[in-house]
Structure formats: C-alpha cells, structure tokens
Amino acid sequence: MADPRLTQQLAFTLHDTDFPTLGKKYRGKVRDTYERGDTLVLVTTDRLSAFDHVLTTLPFKGDLLNELAYFWFQKTAHVVKNHVIDRPDPCVLVGRRAVPFKVEFVVRAHLSGSLWRDYEAGRDPWALRLPPGLTRDQPLEHPTLTPSTKAPLGQHDEPLSAAEVVSRGLLSARDWARASEAALALFAVGQQQARAQGLILVDTKYEFGLIGDELVLIDELHTPDSSRFWVLEGSAERLARGEPQQMLDKENLRQWLITERGFSGHGAPPTIPDEVRVMLAQKYLTAWERITGRTFTLQVGDVSARLTKNLKAAGLLG
C-alpha cells in the first residue's frame, strides 16, 4: 500500500522552475540546469519521462532522485571524480561545469529491457554478437557496454557500437577507453551495494564530461530513472519459471505504458492517472530506502517555496 503522504503531495509537485538570476537555463527531461560561469545549479524536478517523452510529475520524485544521486556520488568519489560541489536543497546539486560527452555509457548485466527487445527482433546495433537461444532477463557473461548517442529533448537516442563511437568522432579513442573503464568500475560498486541490500543492479547509464583534461562523472547515477533494479530474493526462481522480475525502477512505467496504453514512444503520449502516479512514486520511495538502507523522511508541502527559500539561504538567489 502506498504511503498516504504521496497522495497528499500530488498538489505540490514541481513541474518547472524559473530562476533567471541563477544563469542560463537548459530544460532537460527531468532536470532544469542553470549555468553561470563555471558553475551549474541542477534542479531535479518531479517530472517523469519515458520513451523520450515528459509525461507527468510524481510526488517527491525530484527529492528522491537527487538525494539518491548524491548518495552515490559520495560513495563512488574514489572511483572517478564527479562534478558535485554542494547540495543546498533536497532536489538541488551545485556542480562544476564540464564539457559533456555526446555519448551515454549504458552498462548491462542482464538480457533485459531494450537489449532484450532488440535481441528478440534480431537486431544488434551494438555489434555484441550474442549467441542464439538466450532467454529474457538471463545474466550476461559479464557486464557489457551498450553506448548510445545523447539526443536532444524530444528525439530518440541512437544505439551504436563502441567502434562507431570513435569512428564517428563522437569521442577520441583515449576518452572512450578511460570513460569505459570508469563506467565498468562504477557498475561494480553499484552491484556490490545493491546485492548487500538484497537487490540486483541490472543495468544503468552514466554520463561523463571533461573539465580541462580531467574526466568527470556528471548528471546522475544508479537512480531508478537511470538504472534497472530487481529484488534479489526469488529472482533466480522467477527467471527459471519465465516470470517477470520484481522491479524497483522506471521499467514499471514503461511496461504499464506498453501493456495498458499500447504506447512505446510513438504518437501522442497518454494521460497518467493519479493512482498510477502514486503507485510509481511509491516505487521510487521503496527503491531509495532499499538501495541506501535508510528511511526517507516525507514532508508534504510546497516544493517550489522550499526550493526558493533554500537557494536564497545558500546565497544563490538574491
């Protein structure tokens, strides 16, 4: 059963922000990023996207996503440097501005999601050459990189092979090599933490950039928006029976859109009912608590007003 405070928060979700004095604004699917000099203020809104469409908002989603990303940024700082400077509000990170790579680094440990859909259809855009006869959700031999382009808002990311990343000039061979190494090392840390909490990190995506010549992790990591998590208990049995896994991520939304509304990114996106919004918010809350091993404090109220107050207190707003 969903926490009743999730329903109470429906009236206060944060869809957009407007802080011109923070700097030049870039509106992504979920984050509003303000750029001023070498500093970025990244506001994680409550917006929910799937199949490259912004669909609705979820109660507390921005806070849950941002706080979880901050948890992981701290936990993985020894693996690769990240852009985080400060966290003045539960839904805000202040970071160093990097020149972002035009490639997303997707690491997969299971034949699931879009990888399964492509495999089942006989497509191999990543040139993985997986053997025939594999089954849905089964573990891969080892974590595998399946990169994609980072498309502008409203357009679809394009999967491509590692060789194409370099041959197209999207990254130099050196940057591809060191970012790939960092992505696989980050994934190993994520797998370890997830397993310790009774979860499986199935797949995830990372984004990197450069500050000078320094490789830096940016955006987010190991959140339900960027990653797929399964409950470990009973996973092997579900796999053996050919049953769906118990998910704690945005795949719940994707599957609901496909099965209940016949929507997979083409045409006009459907309206998301409030009961589905609350159900999905509960998934995010459960994921946060299961991944971190902590309890998240839900405080019903106006996110926009709190955000403005905290940005002023941090000296970011006049």
Is residue 161 one of the residues assigned to a domain?
Answer: no
For residue 139, is it within any domain?
A: no
Helix axes 61-75, 173-196, angle to 10 degrees: 110
Q: Which of 222, 229, 209, 176 shows the shortest CA–CA distance to 80? A: 209
What was the pLDDT predicted at 253?
85
Per residue in 30-58, pLDDT (tens digit) is: 999 999 999 999 999 999 998 888 999 99
Per-residue pLDDT at 64 exceeds 80: yes
Contact 218, 98 (CB under 8 A): yes
Tell me, yes or no, whether 30 lies in a domain: yes
- Give the model confidence (pLDDT) of 155-209 as tens digits: 668 999 999 999 999 999 999 999 999 999 999 999 999 999 999 999 999 999 9
Query: Could you give the CA distance from residue 169 to residue 191 in angstroms, rounded to a whole number?
Result: 31
CB 94 within 8 A of CB 315: no
**pLDDT (0 to 100) of residue 208:** 98
Burial of 179 (0-12, 13-18, 19+ CB in 10 A): buried
Evaluate whether residue 147 is within a structural domain. Answer: no
Two tokens, residue 300: 């019903």
- Work out the average pLDDT over 89-113: 97
8 Å CB contact between 40 and 33: yes
Confidence of residue 152 (pLDDT cuts 50, 70, 90): low
Q: Is 189 within a domain? A: yes
**Residue 247: inside a domain, yes or no?**
yes
Confidence band, pLDDT 50/70/90 cuts, at residue 318: confident
Number of domains in the chain: 1
pLDDT digits (tens, 9 = 90+) for 255-299: 889 998 899 888 999 999 999 999 999 989 999 999 999 999 999
pLDDT for the residue 154: 57
Q: Compute CA distances 214 → 74, 80, 208, 248, whole Å.
A: 18, 10, 10, 34
Instruction: Report pLDDT for 155.
Output: 64
Give pLDDT tens digits for 21-33: 999 999 998 999 9
Residues in the chain: 318
* Distance, CA of 244 to CA of 267 (rounded, Å): 27
Phi-psi region of 225 (alpha: psi -120 to 50; beta: other; left: phi over 0): alpha
Q: Pairing state of beta strands 103-110 and 227-231?
A: unpaired
C-alpha span between 222 and 57 (Å, rounded): 20
Q: Is residue 162 part of a domain?
A: no
Which pLDDT does position 44 carry in this prediction? Answer: 97
Phi/psi of residue 29, each to 5°? -65, -40
Alpha carbons 48 and 67: distance in angstroms, whole number? 16
Q: Is residue 157 part of a domain?
A: no
Residue type, 51: F
What CATH number has the domain bearing residue 189?
A: 3.30.200.20
What residue numbers bound the domain in which 296 lies?
1-106+169-318
Residue 313 has pLDDT above 80, yes or no: yes
